[in-house]
């Protein structure tokens, strides 16, 4: 072997098979790639990781309120009202309102809602009204552009569900590239990932700097080099005793001879101010939900009241959401009327949206009454 081949070789680096990652717990946000279909797991991670987003969705569900079906036949109206209040919706819940709450929750999170009308054994009544996981089905075009079929993937094969007329499917804000609807959280993954990184870094900084760690540096004087290791051991022992006494509530001084320097590790590092970037990100997230910030516990303005313009905008948002889910609820009411032999013509009456101050509403009604009186007197 030549001399240049006998040079010292570095040992191979060890191969680590198991390593512990210490990133944020919602790592799906870092691996996000925008796709045309809804990433349900990602959106649910956003709701779990950002409480403000979760609260905003529940606020929208509550603001949508409830509805009551109205038909022309008195006998049918009494039975329909009883069904609307007492129908089984699973997991100990009863009434169409409980079904609507979960249906809207899936609609906002997954981009579409999925439900099923379960008939009784004799097929003469609706025994239950259930919500299903939207991830279970795939929507495909039917024979014509007006029709679509709901299918389920089993063992790698796609099987068409047999009773399509008993299934309820509602897309949320469908677009040309996403006819099955898009999630309310579709534009949030990027900003939510940055927000969680800020929170994760803040927690790590407090974990490192909150529990103070000290650096004790002893510089031996001239002629003390042979005894440096011994003096270092004594300082370590005394410093440990002083720290142990402090944990027990006792005050104990640390005395050392020579040039001893004690510093707090990380005390010289500036702590980044997260208030401005966090607020900028939250403003974007809140703007997507359409809810005024103070309704989510954010005090960004001097006055914490809803203006008339904000109330009108929120009312229009809620009305649009109601129009989205109304066809599914109408199908439930129409099927019940058909099964019981009644005319299936029915309308839905929604609860009034009350977002304005009652005093302001009363003052507005007074002004309108005064204006009407003046018109009558001038006529």
Band of residue 16 on the pLDDT scale cut at 50, 70, 90: very low
Inter-CA distances, 126 with 55, 77, 88, 348, Å: 33, 16, 9, 19
Q: How far apart are CA 321 and CA 273, in angstroms?
A: 38
Tokens standing for 65? Answer: 């309120």
**Reported pTM:** 0.75
- In 3D space, the residue among 79, 62, 65, 61 whose CA is nearest the CA of residue 346 turns out to be 79
Look up residue 271 and give its DSSP letter: P
- In 3D space, the residue among 356, 370, 247 whose CA is nearest the CA of residue 307 turns out to be 356
Helix, coil or strand: residue 147: coil
Q: Is the pLDDT of residue 5 over 70?
A: no
Q: Kindly report, residue by residue over 140-196, the tens digit of the pLDDT.
A: 877 777 788 888 877 777 788 888 999 999 999 988 778 888 999 999 999 999 999
- In 3D space, the residue among 109, 132, 112, 133 whose CA is nearest the CA of residue 57 turns out to be 109
- Sorted by where each begins, the domain ranges of the chain are 27-194+314-350, 214-264
The DSSP secondary structure of 256-278, one letter per residue, reads --SEEEEEETTTTSPPPP-HHHH
Q: Kindly report, residue by residue over 87-106, the tens digit of the pLDDT.
A: 999 989 999 999 999 999 99
User: Which whole number is the average pLDDT over 318-340?
Assistant: 96
What's residue 15's pLDDT?
43
Q: What percent of the chain has pLDDT over 70?
A: 82
Least confident of 14-28, 126-140, 239-253, 265-279: 14-28
Tokens standing for 78? Answer: 């009494």
- In 3D space, the residue among 183, 162, 163 whose CA is nearest the CA of residue 172 turns out to be 183
Instruction: Report the run of H or E that residue 307 belongs to, with start and end.
Output: none
Q: Is the pLDDT of residue 200 over 80?
A: yes
- In 3D space, the residue among 128, 89, 114 whose CA is nearest the CA of residue 38 turns out to be 114
- In 3D space, the residue among 137, 65, 125 whose CA is nearest the CA of residue 325 turns out to be 65
What's residue 28's pLDDT?
56
Q: How far apart are CA 172 and CA 191, in angstroms?
A: 22
Q: How far apart are CA 150 and CA 167, in angstroms?
A: 8
């Amino acid at each position: 072997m030549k001399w240049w081949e006998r040079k010292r070789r570095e040992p191979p680096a060890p191969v680590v098979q198991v390593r512990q990652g210490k990133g944020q717990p919602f790592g799906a946000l870092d691996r996000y790639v925008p796709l045309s279909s809804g990433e349900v797991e990602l959106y649910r991670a956003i709701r779990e990781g950002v409480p403000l987003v979760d609260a905003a969705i529940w606020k929208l569900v509550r603001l949508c309120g409830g509805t009551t079906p109205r038909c022309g036949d008195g006998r049918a109206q009494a039975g329909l009202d009883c069904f609307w209040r007492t129908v089984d919706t699973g997991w100990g819940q009863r009434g169409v309102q409980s079904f609507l709450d979960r249906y809207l929750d899936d609609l906002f999170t997954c981009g579409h809602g999925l439900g099923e009308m379960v008939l009784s054994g004799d097929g003469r009544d609706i025994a239950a009204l259930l919500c299903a996981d939207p991830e279970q089905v795939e929507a495909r075009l039917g024979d014509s552009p007006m029709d679509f079929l709901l299918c389920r993937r089993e063992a790698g094969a796609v099987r068409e569900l047999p009773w399509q007329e008993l299934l309820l499917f509602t897309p949320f804000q469908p677009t040309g590239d996403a006819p099955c609807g898009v999630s309310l959280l579709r534009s949030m993954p990027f900003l939510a990932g940055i927000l969680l990184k800020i929170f994760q870094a803040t927690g790590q900084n407090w974990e490192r700097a909150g529990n103070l760690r000290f650096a004790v540096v002893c510089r031996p004087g001239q002629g003390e080099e042979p005894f440096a290791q011994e003096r270092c051991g004594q300082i370590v022992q005394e410093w440990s005793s002083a720290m142990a006494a402090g944990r027990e509530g006792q005050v104990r001084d640390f005395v050392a001879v020579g040039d001893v320097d004690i510093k707090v590790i990380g005390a010289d590092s500036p702590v980044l101010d997260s208030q401005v970037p966090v607020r900028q990100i939250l403003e974007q997230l809140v703007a997507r939900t359409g809810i005024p910030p103070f309704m989510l516990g954010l005090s960004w303005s001097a006055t914490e009241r809803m203006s008339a313009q904000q109330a009108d905008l929120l009312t229009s948002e809620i009305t649009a959401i109601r129009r989205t889910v109304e066809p599914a609820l109408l199908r439930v009411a129409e099927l019940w009327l058909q099964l019981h032999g009644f005319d299936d013509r029915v309308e839905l009456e929604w609860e009034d949206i009350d977002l304005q101050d009652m005093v302001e509403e009363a003052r507005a009604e007074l002004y309108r009454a005064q204006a009407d009186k003046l018109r009558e007197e001038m006529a």
